[in-house]
């Protein structure tokens, strides 16, 4: 059994935070857009949207690191792959917030579990049988 990686756990926590951010993003962005239209502020919508997009792309980077580290340590890469896809979905357009949230939630489950990859489990069984 491979050891549990802290990067996977912390990325799963970050993905949960992104789920919450993505869920509220439309309300926040529309709220600032209405404020801009009413003349209360100027340009706040751009800064607000940029924050959500930056969080999405940070998620892409963290999940990509998880994929690499999981592969290196013989852990299933499913969580990192789903997290990357979910973050990329939102990173391209906030219109994909709902699919991104679903993918990130499923990603969190796999990232927290950190099961051994199938080929790694077979290699461990073969080496134990040879001894």
Mean of the per-residue pLDDT values for the chain? Answer: 87
Between the ranges 10-14, 37-41, 114-118, where is the mean pLDDT highest? 10-14
pTM of the shown model? 0.83
Instruction: Quote the CA–CA distance of 101 and 95 in Å, as a whole number.
Output: 12
Mean pLDDT score, 50-62: 95
Instruction: Quote the CA–CA distance of 18 and 86 in Å, as a whole number.
Output: 10
Q: Looking at the chain, how many residues does it have?
A: 131
DSSP string, 2-50: PPPPHHHHHHHHHHHHHHHHHHHHHHHHHHHHHHHHHTSSSSHHHHHHH
Residue 128's pLDDT band (boundaries 50, 70, 90)? very low
């Amino acid at each position: 059994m491979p050891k549990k990686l802290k990067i996977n756990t912390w990325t799963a926590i970050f993905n949960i935070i992104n789920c919450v951010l993505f869920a509220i993003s439309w309300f926040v962005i529309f709220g600032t857009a209405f404020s801009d239209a009413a003349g209360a502020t100027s340009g706040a919508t751009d800064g607000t949207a940029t924050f959500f997009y930056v969080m999405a792309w940070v998620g892409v980077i963290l999940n990509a690191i998880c994929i690499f580290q999981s592969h290196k340590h013989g852990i299933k890469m499913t969580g990192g792959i789903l997290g990357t896809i979910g973050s990329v979905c939102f990173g391209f357009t906030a219109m994909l917030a709902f699919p991104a949230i679903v993918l990130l939630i499923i990603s969190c489950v796999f990232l927290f579990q950190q099961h051994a990859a199938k080929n790694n489990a077979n290699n461990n069984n073969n080496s134990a049988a040879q001894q």
